[in-house]
Every structure is written in structure tokens, then in C-alpha cells.
């Protein structure tokens, strides 16, 4: 069969357009990442053109991909509805979910799948991260994960679940090559690995005991949209990172693969929350119940990671002090 006649290939394509992520598409459709990649490549081969710009994160559809998605989308959705009715299944309660890609893949995607299994009749559709203002003001998604410190909560229901922290970190190999910064001013001699996304501007200063540093200056800067991409670049010895959630680094801190720098300095903490629009909750109790459950699950999972990240950071600083080098203390 031609790949263009494969309904699963079209569902994969439309999901990738929405999420901008092969990993999230695999999660949404419960497929292996390799299968998602293969189906997309086969569609591109059949059409003889690129459907996505994979050099960007999140990846974006090309002009051809955007045009094809607009043409094909309604037909695929109609076919899926017809299949469901022929099987005698009721239409599901569809929840459109948006969050930073790393949080969807590591935490919320698996939670949503678990909820769907325990609550038949739910279906989840994943979207690339939406700007805060867009989520609040439009009907493009029903449920979001947001940094509520940045939110004007008018019209929103916010369920806080984590106050994640991050400190400057680098690999021992990077520090061997380029030296160890002992204070924020010395970062001007180093490459900075910075988070810069839809709802995240690059960190401009660090904080110690409630007092901000002078604006950060870097010898060079690398901006990435996802924390896990930043982590990979940092592990490749490319620079100093200040925006990686400590919960993503527990094992690396414990084993010394990554070391924290400049004891006492950290970025401003994230205040993460599960968010819905108040009018949607009033209209749909099932959405409210889902949001409550997600916030509880997220609080349990990230609470343990938050504590582990802070503990391993403190132990890593202590090991430096015990070694007598003092290079991370100012």
C-alpha cells in the first residue's frame, strides 16, 4: 500500500504538526519513536519534498507541510470518527493539552495515558507549548502547564505543584579546559547555555539570599528551546548551564558527571502549575477532576525530584569543600 493511503501515517503527520516533536507524537499515539520517524520519512519520500524543518526546536512544518495538513486534517478526523462509530464506540471527551516539551515527555504524557486507562472515554491531544497569553485568551487548548509566576491569573484556575530550582552547572571536563567561574561576573569568560522558549526569556541574573547579581554577561551564548537539549549540550562540555531543573540532574550530580558552581547562587525559581480556564471548569466538571488529579500526581513526582536535586547539589558542594579546592565557593 502507498504510504499516502496509510491512515496511521496521516495521524502521525498531523500530530507532529501540532506538537512539533517526534517524541510527543510517539507518546500521544502510543508508538515507538522509530516508527514515527519512519512514517514521516516515507510520506516525505512519496511527496518528494520536506514536510518539516527539523533544524528548529520545536520542529515546524514547511510551507508544503502546512498546506497538506490544512487539506488532509479534516478528512483524517472524519475517517477516525467514522471508524469509531462503526465499532460502536461513543465519541470520547477530548482534552487538548499544552506544556513545555520536556515536561510532557517525562511527566505529563505518561500521567495522561494512565488517566485515560483508568477513565475510559477520555482522549488526549497534545500541542506544542502555547504562549501564556494565547492559552488564557483563546480556545486552542483546554489544559496547560505554566510558570504561574509569569501569569496574570485573571480567568485562570492555577494548581501549583512545584517550585523547581536551578544552579549554574558544568562538566568537570569543561572546567578543566576553560577554568571554573567563582562568581557571576566571571561568567563573562565562559559559554552560556540558556533556555529561550515560548514562555521563557534567557536568564538575565542569578540570585543569592534574595539579592540579584549584576546582569549576566557571557563570552558566547547558545539558546535552546528545551531543557533536555540544554542538558545534552552541557554534557557534551559545551558550556555553563543556568536553566536546567535540578530534578533533571540528580544522577549526574550524584556521580560527579556534573558539578554545581558558585555556591549560593541560583536562578529565580520556577513556580509551576496545572492551569485551566475558569469558564471551562464551570462548564465541564470532568476537566476540573482531571486537573485536580494531574496536580496531585505532579506534586508527588516532582516533590521527590526537587528534594533529591537539592540534596545532591548540597552534597556536591560539600565534596568540593572537603577536597580543599574551594573552587566552587565565593
Q: Is 64 helix (H, G, I), strand (E, B) or coil?
A: helix
Cell readout for 100 is 513545555
Which residues have a Cβ under 8 Å from the Cβ of 242 and sit 6 or more positions away?
Answer: 166, 167, 168, 169, 192, 193, 194, 203, 206, 216, 267
Superfamily of segment(s) 169-270: Periplasmic binding protein-like II (3.40.190.10)
Q: According to the model, what pLDDT value does residue 325 have?
A: 54
Residue that is written with C-alpha cell 482522549 in the block: 123
Q: What percent of the chain has pLDDT over 70?
A: 95
Pinpoint the alpha helices (H) of the chain: 7-19, 22-29, 33-47, 63-86, 101-103, 109-118, 132-137, 172-178, 227-235, 250-255, 278-283, 285-323
**pLDDT confidence tier of residue 19, bands split at 50, 70 and 90:** very high
What is the rounded CA–CA span in Å between residue 249 and residue 259? 10
Q: Give whole-number Cα distances, 46 to 33, 38, 314, in Å.
A: 20, 12, 54
Rounded Cα gap, residues 135 and 126, in angstroms: 14
Domain residue ranges of the chain, discontinuous segments joined by +: 1-90, 169-270
Looking at domain 1-90, does it have CATH number 1.10.10.10? Answer: yes
Query: What pLDDT score does 162 carry?
Result: 92
Q: Could you tell me which residue, 151 or 109, shows the higher pLDDT?
A: 109
How far apart are the C-alpha atoms of 78 and 59, rounded to whole Å?
Answer: 26
Residues contacting 122, CB < 8 A, separation 6+: 92, 93, 95, 115, 116, 286, 290
pLDDT of residue 83: 87
d(CA 216, CA 96): 37
Check pLDDT > 70 for residue 131. Answer: yes
For residue 155, what pLDDT is reported? Answer: 86
pLDDT of residue 138: 86
pLDDT above 90 (res 244): yes
The phi-psi region of residue 261 (left if phi > 0; otherwise alpha if psi is between -120 and 50; otherwise beta) is beta
Average pLDDT over residues 142-156: 80
Strand pairing report for 259-260 and 169-170: antiparallel
Q: For 273-284, write each residue's pLDDT tens digit.
A: 999 999 999 999
The DSSP line for 136-202 is: HHSSS-SEEEEEGGG---TTEEEEEEE------EE-HHHHHHH----SGGGGGGSEEEEE-BTTBPP
pLDDT in tens, 150-180: 566 678 999 999 988 899 999 999 999 999 9
Say what the pLDDT of residue 132 is: 86
Specify the pLDDT at position 4. 60
Q: Return the pLDDT at 58.
A: 81
The CA distance from 99 to 95, in Å, is: 13
Write the pLDDT tens digit of every residue in 282-329: 999 999 999 999 999 999 999 999 999 999 999 998 887 777 654 443
Residues 276 and 157 sit within 8 Å (Cβ to Cβ): yes
Amino acid at each position: 500500500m502507498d504510504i499516502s493511503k496509510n491512515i496511521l501515517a496521516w495521524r502521525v503527520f498531523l500530530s507532529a504538526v501540532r506538537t512539533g516533536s517526534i517524541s510527543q507524537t510517539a507518546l500521544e499515539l502510543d508508538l515507538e519513536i522509530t516508527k514515527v520517524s519512519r512514517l514521516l520519512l516515507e510520506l516525505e519520500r512519496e511527496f518528494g519534498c520536506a514536510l518539516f524543518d527539523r533544524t528548529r526546536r520545536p520542529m515546524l512544518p514547511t510551507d508544503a507541510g502546512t498546506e497538506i495538513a490544512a487539506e488532509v486534517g479534516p478528512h483524517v478526523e472524519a475517517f477516525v470518527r467514522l471508524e469509531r462509530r462503526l465499532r460502536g464506540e461513543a465519541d470520547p471527551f477530548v482534552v487538548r493539552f499544552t506544556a513545555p516539551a520536556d515536561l510532557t515527555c517525562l511527566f505529563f504524557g505518561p500521567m495522561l495515558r494512565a488517566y485515560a486507562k483508568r477513565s475510559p472515554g477520555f482522549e488526549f491531544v497534545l500541542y506544542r507549548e502555547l504562549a501564556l497569553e494565547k492559552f488564557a485568551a483563546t480556545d486552542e487548548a483546554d489544559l496547560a502547564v505554566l510558570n504561574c509566576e509569569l501569569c496574570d491569573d485573571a480567568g485562570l484556575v492555577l494548581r501549583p505543584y512545584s517550585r523547581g530550582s536551578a544552579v549554574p552547572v558544568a562538566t568537570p571536563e569543561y572546567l578543566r579546559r576553560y577554568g571554573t567561574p567563582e562568581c557571576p561576573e566571571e561568567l563573562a569568560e565562559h559559554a552560556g547555555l540558556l533556555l529561550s522558549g515560548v514562555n521563557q526569556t534567557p536568564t538575565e541574573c542569578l540570585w543569592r539570599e534574595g539579592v540579584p547579581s549584576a546582569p549576566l554577561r557571557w563570552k558566547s551564548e547558545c539558546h535552546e528551546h528545551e531543557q533536555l537539549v540544554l542538558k545534552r549540550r552541557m554534557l557534551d562540555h559545551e558550556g555553563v548551564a543556568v536553566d536546567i531543573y535540578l530534578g533533571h540532574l540528580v544522577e549526574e550530580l550524584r556521580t560527579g558527571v556534573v558539578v554545581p558552581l558558585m555556591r549560593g547562587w541560583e536562578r529565580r525559581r520556577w513556580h509551576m502549575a496545572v492551569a485551566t480556564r475558569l469558564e471551562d471548569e464551570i462548564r465541564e466538571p470532568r476537566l476540573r477532576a482531571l486537573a485536580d488529579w494531574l496536580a496531585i500526581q505532579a506534586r508527588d513526582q516532582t516533590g521527590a525530584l526537587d528534594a533529591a536535586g537539592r540534596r545532591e547539589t548540597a552534597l556536591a558542594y560539600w565534596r568540593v569543600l572537603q577536597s580543599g579546592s574551594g573552587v566552587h565557593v565565593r
